[in-house]
Amino acid sequence: MTQLILLPILFQACLAVLLLFFYTKTKTQKVLSIAGSSVNLVIASLLFYTVWVNGSMSVQAGNWSAPFGITFVADTLAVTMVLLTAIVGFAVSVFSAFTIARDRLRFGYFSILHFLLMGLAGSFLTGDIFNLYVWFEIILISSFVLLTIGSEKKQLEGAVKYFALNMLASIMFLTALGILYGLTGTLNMADLSGKVAALENRGLVNVCALFFFIGFGIKAALFPLYAWLPDSYHAPPTAVTAIFSGLLTKVAVYALIRVFSVVFVVDEFFSQLFIILAVITIFSGGIGALVQTNIRKFFSYLIICHIGYMIIGLGLFNEIALAGMVFYLIHDVVIKTNLFLISGVIVKIKGTSDMRKLGDIYNDYPKLALLFALSLFSLIGIPPLSGFWPKVSLILGGMEADNYLTVGFILFGSFITLVVVAKLWAQVFWKSSANLEEHEDFSYFNKLRKRRKVAILFPVVFLTLVTLYIGFGAESVNTLATRIAGELINVQPYIDTVMGK
Amino acid sequence: MNSIILRTATNYILPLLLMFSVFILLRGHYLPGGGFVGGLIAAVAFVLHMFAHGLEKTRELLVIHPGYLLPFGLSLALLSGFAPVFFTGEPFMTGVWMENPIPVIGKVGSALFFDLGVYLVVFGVSLTIIFTISEDA
């Protein structure tokens, strides 16, 4: 039964290798990728269900017992993230099949996409901190290829910035790993938990924790080193940006949550640091979004803005705030992917991503506008849609900790999101659009055949339905988030699962 | 590079280097060596041939494009990892070993096939990269 834990990783690996065999046959690749992603959805749900019913499980790869071998742990947080990866991966796979140009597909696009999904599943499931680094590298390498495939000038420009800052983050992460291994002699997270707590050299432990925080902070696009994100995310095709925005920053947030719950303790200093940086992140991301004119840069700044909420939850570190953070994480993965898919559809309709020239979406496509509005309202957090519930938990968590500054900034963040979304609505949906010259080699949405239109909209509808479920089924999602928060506060069951007690 | 000495020497060195790469591959279980280094040495053998005889001749010698080895190497490595899952029901990547040693080679286990997969992938990747670069030059 425990073999099931590795299945989401191995299935993606097999799928990626299988796709390599059909390197030149793009049609076969499309079919295989969509079929594979649907099967992966079933696998991830099965794993989620098993862990939900039976509790956490662990498996030792290569049968070398912990803490010497590499452990894979499926606790509730990990399997939730794996399930979200499968959902987002499915939507992006479908969207890619119908929007990505053939020239890009010919260079192994789908294979790399599934290697990326494998890396994501691996980093969620691993219980070994060095193995986490390896999965991060797999994610990084795959994302470089996805960013640069097609080699347009703006793509390469974005990729250089992305590469430079993410390598810096990886070096920080590796340095921290070196210090940690030198201090304790182990890399298994569950084993580290006790050993780090018993160390007497607290100064070095804090420096090490700070290195981890800087490394993951850059990858999560936290203030002050977030500039790489808006500079690189607008360059590649929308499908690529969608999976990046949904999962790449979130995997860093996940790593932060994992490291600062199992290995290190969020003490007074880190709590303050998290909250202050998170608050500035919310502020600068929101202000940044206000002045953008490119619709995809606009959404990129919103990603930064909302990363702050999750870090606030981690900084407060009480049960209700952690539950809010996890709920927000679940909501954010789905909604951010959907936003970028929506921006892709809008660009497909109009042929430009400049918000000053866009317009008339409401006039021309009222039904689509309603569909998009559902996601935008969820993003702001208008009750009873999905963004509302985690914010309530976070605000309650802030009040419980008597930290009214965070409460204020959570409200400010929601308000600024409302303002920027209103601006987006006015500019893109209501305003009449400028006269756009038609590109000849661009396949406009209204010229596509009906089947293809439906296929492009299908992933958007799918993710919107998931978002609506998160909003209207908040009761069950909150039960899940509270259970995860409990596991984050009391990590003893996690340690026992790994050590096989 | 048009040098009769290099060309004549390459004809003898190429098979020697290939044999050496297989030796390194098999040696790698307990001693320094293994699939990665072995694959690199095998790639170097063909790069040397390319220096002496030119890219076209090396392509003819290889028959298939080295990039085709990638998926085969990867699947071999993956399958060797799956062997314990299917045969003994142990976790992924557990070493499975034959009971009786084969003469000369010794005991064969799933680790050998994993290394063989790595060998193919490294060989394919490095030759693909070098061929692509020398095509543009």
| Distant-in-sequence, close-in-space partners of A299: CB < 8 Å, separation ≥ 6 | A245, A336, A339, A340, A343
Structural domains in chain A (count): 1
B75–A62 C-beta distance less than 8 A: no
Contact criterion met (CB below 8 Å) for A127 and A190: yes
Residues 6+ apart with CB under 8 A from A34: A90, A93, A94, A97
CB atoms within 10 A of CB B4: 8
A51-55, A329-333, A469-473, A497-501: segment of lowest average pLDDT: A497-501
pLDDT in tens, chain B (137 residues): 678 999 999 999 999 999 999 999 988 888 898 899 999 999 999 999 999 998 889 999 988 889 889 999 999 999 999 988 888 888 888 888 888 888 777 778 888 899 999 999 999 999 999 999 988 76
Residue B92 to residue A61, Cβ atoms within 8 A: yes
Phi-psi region of A381 (alpha: psi -120 to 50; beta: other; left: phi over 0): left
pTM for this prediction = 0.94
Distance, CA of A447 to CA of A332 (rounded, Å): 33
* Residues of chain B numbered 41-100 and touching chain A (CB < 8 Å): 67, 70-71, 74-75, 78, 81-82, 84-85, 90-95
Residue pair B130/B47 in contact (Cβ under 8 Å)? The answer is yes
Q: Are the C-beta atoms of A138 and A119 separated by less than 8 Å?
A: yes
Residue B109: phi and psi, rounded to 5, are -130, 175
Handedness of CA B40, B75, A120, A266 (dihedral sign): negative
Range in A18-32, A354-368, B19-33 the model is least confident about: A354-368
Residues 379-408 of A with CB under 8 A from B: none
Contacts of B95 in chain A (CB under 8 A): 62
Please give the full DSSP string across B36-53, using - where no structure is assigned.
HHHHHHHHHHHHHHHHHH
CA A361, A367, A371, A376 torsion: positive or negative? Answer: positive
A400: tokens are: 């419980």
**Mean pLDDT over residues A258-275, rounded?**
92
Give the model's pLDDT for residue A486: 93
SS3 category, B79: helix
DSSP state of A387: T
Domain hosting residue A378, numbered range: 2-499
For residue B56, count other CB atoms closer than 10 A to its CB.
Answer: 9
Q: What percent of chain A has pLDDT over 90?
A: 64
**pLDDT bracket for residue A431 (50, 70, 90):** confident
Q: Which amino acid is at A138?
A: I
- Residue A62 near chain B (CB below 8 Å): yes
State how far the Cα of A344 lies from the Cα of A105, in Å rounded to an integer: 17
| B84–A63 CB contact, under 8 Å | yes
Residue with tokens 């192994």: A108
Best residue in A9, A57, A63, A118 for a mutation probing chain B (most B CBs within 10 Å) = A63
Q: Which residues contact A321 (CB under 8 A, 6 or more apart)?
A: A312, A313, A393, A394, A396, A397, A398, A400, A401
Provide the ipTM. 0.90
Q: Which residues contact A198 (CB under 8 A, 6 or more apart)?
A: none
Q: Which two tokens stand for residue B48?
A: 């040397």
